[in-house]
Amino acid sequence: MTLLRQVETTTTQFRQLLKEIGMLLAYEVTRDLPIKYQQIQTLMKLMEAPMLAAEKKW
């Protein structure tokens, strides 16, 4: 937050810092969501891929 507030921070730096903060917030908000694993085919092999367990309501 300090870097965002500094007068010396350029527009490019400001935008990059906001992007980083957004990613950190998104991680914190979603880290406790329930997940399930689903088998999918990739180009290389079958794998167990994590997916959100909750169904969409819309």
16 pLDDT band (50/70/90 cuts)? very high
Interior/surface letters 23-50, b for 16+ CB within 10 angstroms, e for the rest? eeeeeeeeeeeeeeeeeeeeeeeeeeee
Q: What is the pLDDT of residues 19-57, one digit of tens each?
A: 999 999 999 999 999 999 999 999 999 999 999 997 777
pLDDT, residue 24, reads: 96
Spatial distance between the Cα atoms of 28 and 32, rounded to a whole number of angstroms: 8
The per-residue pLDDT for 55 is 75
Write down the residue that tokens 């935008």 correspond to.
15
Q: Residue 58: pLDDT above 70?
A: no
Reply yes or no on whether the pLDDT at 10 is more than 90.
yes
